[in-house]
């Protein structure tokens, strides 16, 4: 046994220790080693301590056999248990997925409009959506979903294509002006200036009118001329008073929110060149449950609208 | 190199150098006396407190558990009679731990290693196990004989019986521990029906094993080799700390009654009071001989004092040959001087400073306990986005508000904002048209209510600092307030 061997080793080793002597000051023997006049007192450890040491060695041997341990050129010895940190992570993910399975199944069976009527499912969906948003959406819409120029702020009460949860789901699923999806939301504002539909002077008049209906400027001769041009060219999509049109994603112009800027130069640029923002059809990339969760999350950010009484399909 | 002293070079001891020491078994003899009886009393008190505490009940109404002392890790609550501690109030526990540490310093500087000798769990359980030894195997001599005896069926039976009793005590020790962490009666039912949490069984298993090994087999080895406290204490003791002292000036030279008689008859120098009966060593639970002086193995339990006093009584000599004595008094007594007065020994700057620190922390904790509020408000403003521009021109700021009701009953509260004229608040489950200056709500018992709060600033609202005020609407009238900021397109008012 290892223990007997070790004990015998220390006991037969005394031949080397012929220098051992009794130290007068302490009344303790020295072990016989001496370095430049410095000697070591023999204060023996308890034997069980030595046994613990051998137990540790035995434990280490077993560990080396069972687990990855000895490093080599192409990685460590695998160990007979086949344990890997990656495998442990995979197991943890599997466990987490399994613990989410029930609520995900419930979300899958629930129409998205009903999701927000069930507080438990809604909370689960919002938290799941919060995580998915950080992975997929923040690149354009920002970590706080506040968007930026050309990327809508999802916290506010202004929605291009509708702010009830069904409309948000539709936008997420099929995207906006996304080439690879037949049902994608699509519309195209003409480049009124660049394509010569309006002269530069007419563009300036329209901009004046838009500045008036958004209460940024007082009425002027230019804006009165622009009102006529607006009624002929713009009102069909943006509405007679600039109230916007959600069926074609035409922004409201008589409010305080501007996707591409509300100052004179920005509006001039928009009327001249037009904008056509694109959002991917997430239905092609994410599973339906995740998209429902994202819809619930975006809907919860503060500007979510109530579901209209008419079902989405019948609109 | 200096040549070693030749007197010391000549080793008379033929034993080889031993780097590892064999365990010398300790079989302390039964003893009676005031210190033994005091030890009994402390042991009884410790065990009753340890085993009994989880079963005390304390009515906290319908919203909190009814166990007097409960460390509810699952729900992050610590109940101790009328006191309930939340995780953020952990400084109370930290303060108690610091008090316990300084209390040990104080006790050590006044009465030496009293903790080691009487109250340490290792001491209490070792003592208990040694009583079991004497119950099964008989007193010291019988135990020594049995130790040397060959392994017969009788010895095996005795050993198995003794180990079974040790195991029983160990199981009760490990078993009692878990009742501090869950409702004791319910957990006990679950434990015996096999439906308790695996953690409970694992905890009982580990603590049963450690009690069995540490109390049954390791005993004084824990004090001498494992525990850091004796090492710290040996650095803390000074010449005015109480130690168990063999009064060698009175005891030496040692000699039996027969030797004393012979010396008297032949006119040799008289022997000391020590009759060399070895009773002090025989009763020692750590197996030391106190006559060798103060040492790490001495836990100052005083059993050798009891043993020596009864031996002195038998031979008609005064008690106290071995006694609690400070180093200073030992020196004075050895020179025939009187002891320092007890009060003068105890009341010295060191003990007074320890006591002042200890009592100061205690008074501080009591003050904080008496003045702490059980209703708190915290407000965290959204940083991204700092505000949201709404289509009508108003701005909306988001806040995460936490209302903490630490009472064990629901409380009606109102949340009010002031500082920004015209700004109104509403929660995320309300419509913005319901926004108002004051929100009334009920906070459930023993709960942190987390609110998503919006503040609406109509067109023309000036940004700037906001004061959120929370007020309880019940008789107790608790309140709290927090400063924050309202921002809009004009900035944040700073």
Q: What does residue A24 show for φ and ψ, rounded to 5 degrees?
A: -70, -45
Is B84 in contact with B73 (CB distance < 8 Å)?
Answer: no
Q: What is the pLDDT of residue B15?
A: 59
Is the pLDDT reported for residue B202 higher than 50? yes
Cis peptide before A53 (omega within 30 of 0): no
Eight-state DSSP code of residue A279: B
- Spans of chain A, pLDDT less than 70: 1-19, 310-315
Quickly count: other Cβ atoms within 10 Å of residue B428's Cβ: 13
Residue of chain A with shortest Cα separation from B382:
A144
User: What length is written for chain A?
Assistant: 315
Q: Residue B16 — very low, low, confident or very high, per pLDDT cuts 50/70/90?
A: low
Tell me, yes or no, if B226 comes closer than 8 A to chain A by beta carbon: no
Q: Which of A14, A37, A45 sits opposite B20 (nearest CB)?
A: A45
Q: Choosing among A8, A11, A263, which should be mutated to test the B contact, i.e. which has the most B CBs within 10 A?
A: A11
3-class secondary structure, B14: coil
φ/ψ bin of B427: left (φ > 0), alpha (ψ from -120 to 50), beta (otherwise)? beta
Is B122 in contact with B227 (CB distance < 8 Å)?
Answer: yes
- Model pLDDT for residues A216-264, shown as the tens digit of each residue: 999 999 999 999 999 999 999 999 999 999 999 999 999 999 999 999 9
What is the C-alpha to C-alpha distance for residues A146 and B410, in angstroms, rounded to an integer? 37
Burial track A278-297 (b if 16+ CB lie within 10 A, e otherwise): ebbbbbeebeebbbbbbbbb
Tell me, yes or no, if B454 comes closer than 8 A to chain A by beta carbon: yes
Tell me, yes or no, if B16 comes closer than 8 A to chain A by beta carbon: yes
Residue of chain B with shortest Cα separation from A155:
B388
Closest CA to B455 of B384, B386, B378, B402: B386
Distance from CA of A56 to the nearest CA of B (A): 17
Architecture of domain B375-486: Sandwich (2.60)
CB contact under 8 A, B11 and A21: yes
CB contact under 8 A, B396 and A302: yes
Taking contacts as CB-CB distances below 8 angstroms, the residues of chain B near A11 are 16, 18
- DSSP letters along B173-231, please? HHHHHHTTSS-HHHHHHHHHTT-S-HHHHHHHHHHHHHHHHIIIIITHHIIIII-SHHH
- Diameter of chain A measured on Cα atoms: 118
Q: Which of B13, B225, B389 sits opposite A257 (nearest CB)?
A: B389
Q: Which residue has the tokens 């608790």?
A: B478
Quickly count: other Cβ atoms within 10 Å of residue B63's Cβ: 14
CB contact under 8 A, B17 and A257: no
Is B465 in contact with B445 (CB distance < 8 Å)?
Answer: no
CB contact under 8 A, A157 and B391: yes
CB contact under 8 A, B17 and A17: yes
Distance from CA of A181 to the nearest CA of B (A): 31
CB contact under 8 A, B17 and A46: no
Tell me, yes or no, if B206 comes closer than 8 A to chain A by beta carbon: no
**Across the A/B interface, how many CB contacts are shorter than 8 Å?**
107
Q: Residue B491 — very low, low, confident or very high, per pLDDT cuts 50/70/90?
A: confident
CB contact under 8 A, A11 and B16: yes
Q: What is the pLDDT of residue B138?
A: 94
What is the C-alpha to C-alpha distance for residues A50 and A47, in angstroms, rounded to an integer? 5
Q: Does domain A200-273 have CATH number 1.10.760.10?
A: yes
What is the C-alpha to C-alpha distance for residues B258 and B275, in angstroms, rounded to an integer? 9
What is the C-alpha to C-alpha distance for residues A248 and B476, in angstroms, rounded to an integer? 58
CB contact under 8 A, B19 and A142: no
Is the pLDDT reported for residue B441 higher than 80? yes
Tell me, yes or no, if B289 comes closer than 8 A to chain A by beta carbon: no
Q: What is the pLDDT of residue B325?
A: 93
CB contact under 8 A, A14 and B17: yes
Is B169 in contact with B129 (CB distance < 8 Å)?
Answer: yes
Residue of chain B with shortest Cα separation from A147:
B385
CB contact under 8 A, B13 and A29: yes
What is the C-alpha to C-alpha distance for residues A187 and A248, in angstroms, rounded to an integer? 6
Q: Choosing among B391, B432, B455, which should be mutated to test the A contact, i.e. which has the most A CBs within 10 A?
A: B391
Closest CA to B323 of B314, B312, B315: B312
Residue of chain B with shortest Cα separation from A29:
B17
Find all residues with CB under 8 Å of B494, minimum gap 6, and list them. Answer: B464, B485
Q: What is the pLDDT of residue A18?
A: 57
Find all residues with CB under 8 Å of B390, minimum gap 6, and list them. Answer: A156, A157, A158, A256, A257, B396, B456
Q: What is the pLDDT of residue A39?
A: 87
What is the C-alpha to C-alpha distance for residues A79 and A63, in angstroms, rounded to an integer? 8
Is B361 in contact with B98 (CB distance < 8 Å)?
Answer: yes
Q: Of A88-102, B11-25, B47-61, B275-289, which gets the smallest average pLDDT?
A: B11-25
- Model pLDDT for residues A36-77, shown as the tens digit of each residue: 888 888 888 888 989 999 999 999 999 999 999 999 998 889
Q: Choosing among A2, A23, A43, A48, which should be mutated to test the B contact, i.e. which has the most B CBs within 10 A?
A: A48
Q: What is the pLDDT of residue A310?
A: 60
- Model pLDDT for residues B266-283, shown as the tens digit of each residue: 888 888 899 999 999 999
CB contact under 8 A, B16 and A31: no
Q: Which of A22, A144, A157 sits opposite B390 (nearest CB)?
A: A157
Taking contacts as CB-CB distances below 8 angstroms, the residues of chain B near A155 are 385, 388, 396, 398
Is the pLDDT reported for residue B1 higher than 60? no
Q: Which residue has the tokens 């197996």?
A: B287
Q: Which of B4, B20, B225 sits opposite A10 (nearest CB)?
A: B20
Q: What is the pLDDT of residue B8?
A: 45
Distance from CA of A161 to the nearest CA of B (A): 15
Mean pLDDT of B474-483: 88
Is A181 in contact with A285 (CB distance < 8 Å)?
Answer: no
Is the pLDDT reported for residue B10 higher than 70? no
Would you kindly state where each structural domain of chain B is located, as residue ranges? 34-235, 238-340, 375-486
Q: Do domains A110-186+278-306 and A200-273 have the same CATH topology?
A: yes
CB contact under 8 A, B19 and A44: yes
Select from 1.10.760.10, 2.60.40.1180, 2.40.128.110, 1.10.390.10 the CATH code of A110-186+278-306: 1.10.760.10
Residue of chain B with shortest Cα separation from A138:
B384
Closest CA to B298 of B257, B251, B361, B237: B237
- Model pLDDT for residues B207-263, shown as the tens digit of each residue: 999 999 999 999 999 999 999 998 888 888 888 889 999 999 999 888 888 888 888
Q: What is the pLDDT of residue A311?
A: 52
Would you kindly state where each structural domain of chain A is located, as residue ranges? 45-82, 110-186+278-306, 200-273
CB contact under 8 A, A300 and B454: no
Q: Which of B17, B385, B388 sits opposite A31 (nearest CB)?
A: B17
Distances from the Cα of B286 to the Cα of A40, B25, B29, B218, angstroms? 27, 9, 12, 11
Distance from CA of B18 to the nearest CA of A (A): 6
Give chain B's radius of gyration (CA, Å): 34
Q: What is the pLDDT of residue A8?
A: 38
Q: Which of B13, B383, B385 sits opposite A155 (nearest CB)?
A: B385
Tell me, yes or no, if B221 comes closer than 8 A to chain A by beta carbon: yes
Burial class (CB in 10 A: 0-12, 13-18, 19+), A96: exposed
What's the token pair of residue A271? 């009327």
Is B393 in contact with B435 (CB distance < 8 Å)?
Answer: no
Q: Which of A36, A50, A157 sits opposite B1 (nearest CB)?
A: A36
Taking contacts as CB-CB distances below 8 angstroms, the residues of chain A near B21 are 44-47
Q: What is the pLDDT of residue A2?
A: 37
What is the C-alpha to C-alpha distance for residues B263 and B258, in angstroms, rounded to an integer? 9
Q: Which of A42, A252, A300 sits opposite B17 (nearest CB)?
A: A42
What is the C-alpha to C-alpha distance for residues B422 and B443, in angstroms, rounded to an integer? 27
Tell me, yes or no, if B225 comes closer than 8 A to chain A by beta carbon: yes
Quickly count: other Cβ atoms within 10 Å of residue B338's Cβ: 8
φ/ψ bin of A7: left (φ > 0), alpha (ψ from -120 to 50), beta (otherwise)? alpha
């Amino acid at each position: 046994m290892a223990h007997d061997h070790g004990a015998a080793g220390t006991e037969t080793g005394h031949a080397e220790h012929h220098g051992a002597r009794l130290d007068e000051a302490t009344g303790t023997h020295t072990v016989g080693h001496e370095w430049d006049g410095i000697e070591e007192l023999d204060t023996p450890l308890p034997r069980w301590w030595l046994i613990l040491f051998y137990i540790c060695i035995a434990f280490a041997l077993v560990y080396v056999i069972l687990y990855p341990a000895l490093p080599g050129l192409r990685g460590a010895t695998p160990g007979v248990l086949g344990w890997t940190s990656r495998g442990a992570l995979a197991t943890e993910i599997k466990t987490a997925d399994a613990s989410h399975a029930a609520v995900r199944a419930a979300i899958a069976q629930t129409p998205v409009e009903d999701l927000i009527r069930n507080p438990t499912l809604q909370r689960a969906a919002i938290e799941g959506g919060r995580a998915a948003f950080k992975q997929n959406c923040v690149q354009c819409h920002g970590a706080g979903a506040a968007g930026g120029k050309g990327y809508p702020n999802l916290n506010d009460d202004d929605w291009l294509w509708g702010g009830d949860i069904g409309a948000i789901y539709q936008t997420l699923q099929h995207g906006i002006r996304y080439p690879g999806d037949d049902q994608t939301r699509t519309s195209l504002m003409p480049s009124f200036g660049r394509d010569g539909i309006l002269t530069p002077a007419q563009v300036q008049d329209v901009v004046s009118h838009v500045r008036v209906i958004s209460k940024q400027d007082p009425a002027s001769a230019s804006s009165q001329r622009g009102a006529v041009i607006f009624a002929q060219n713009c009102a069909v999509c943006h509405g007679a008073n600039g109230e916007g049109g959600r069926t074609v994603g035409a922004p409201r112009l008589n409010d305080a929110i501007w996707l591409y800027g509300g100052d004179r130069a920005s509006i001039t640029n928009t009327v001249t060149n037009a904008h056509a923002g694109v959002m991917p059809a997430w239905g092609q990339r994410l599973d339906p449950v995740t998209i429902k969760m994202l819809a619930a999350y975006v809907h919860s950010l503060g500007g979510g609208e109530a579901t209209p009484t008419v079902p989405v399909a019948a609109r | 190199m200096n040549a070693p002293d030749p007197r010391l070079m000549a080793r008379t001891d033929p034993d080889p150098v031993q780097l590892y020491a064999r365990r010398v078994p300790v079989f302390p003899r039964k003893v009676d006396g005031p210190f033994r009886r005091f030890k009994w009393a402390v042991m009884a008190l410790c065990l009753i407190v340890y085993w009994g505490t989880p079963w005390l009940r304390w009515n906290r109404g319908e919203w909190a558990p009814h166990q007097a002392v409960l460390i509810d890790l699952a729900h992050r609550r610590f109940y101790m009679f009328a006191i309930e501690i939340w995780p953020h109030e952990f400084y109370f526990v930290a303060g108690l731990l610091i008090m316990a540490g300084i209390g040990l310093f104080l006790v050590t500087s006044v009465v030496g290693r009293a903790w080691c000798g009487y109250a340490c769990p290792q001491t209490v359980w070792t003592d208990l196990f040694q009583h079991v030894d004497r119950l099964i195997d008989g007193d010291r001599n019988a135990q020594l004989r049995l130790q040397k005896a060959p392994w017969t069926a009788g010895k095996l039976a005795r050993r198995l019986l003794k180990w079974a009793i040790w195991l029983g005590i160990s199981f009760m020790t490990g078993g009692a521990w878990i009742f501090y962490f869950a409702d004791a009666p319910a957990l006990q039912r679950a434990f015996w029906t096999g439906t308790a949490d695996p953690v409970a069984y694992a905890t009982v298993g580990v603590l049963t094993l450690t009690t069995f090994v540490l109390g049954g087999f390791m005993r004084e080895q824990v004090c001498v080799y494992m525990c850091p406290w004796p090492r710290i204490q040996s650095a803390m003791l000074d010449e005015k700390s109480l130690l168990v002292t063999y009064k060698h000036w009175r005891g030496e030279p040692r000699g039996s009654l027969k030797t004393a008689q012979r010396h008297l008859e032949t006119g040799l120098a008289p022997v000391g009071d020590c009759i060399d009966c070895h009773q002090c060593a025989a009763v020692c639970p750590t197996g030391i001989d106190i006559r060798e002086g103060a040492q790490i193995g001495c836990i100052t339990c005083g059993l050798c004092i009891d043993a020596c006093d009864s031996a002195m009584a038998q031979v008609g000599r005064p008690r106290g040959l071995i006694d609690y004595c400070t180093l200073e008094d030992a020196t004075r007594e050895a020179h025939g001087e009187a002891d320092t007065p007890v009060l003068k020994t105890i009341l010295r700057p060191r003990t007074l400073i320890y006591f002042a620190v200890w009592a100061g922390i205690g008074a501080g904790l009591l003050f904080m306990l008496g003045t702490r509020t059980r209703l708190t408000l915290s407000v965290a403003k959204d940083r991204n986005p700092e505000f949201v521009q709404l289509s009508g021109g108003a701005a909306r700021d988001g806040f995460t508000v936490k209302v903490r009701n630490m009472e064990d009953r629901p409380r009606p509260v109102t949340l009010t904002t002031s500082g920004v004229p015209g700004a109104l608040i509403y929660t995320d489950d309300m419509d913005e048209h319901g926004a108002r200056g004051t929100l009334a709500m009920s906070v459930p018992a023993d709960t942190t209510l987390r609110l998503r709060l919006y503040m609406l600033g109509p067109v023309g609202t000036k940004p700037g600092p906001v004061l959120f005020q929370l007020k309880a609407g019940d008789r107790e009238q608790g309140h709290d307030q927090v400063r924050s900021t309202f921002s809009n397109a004009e900035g944040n008012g700073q």
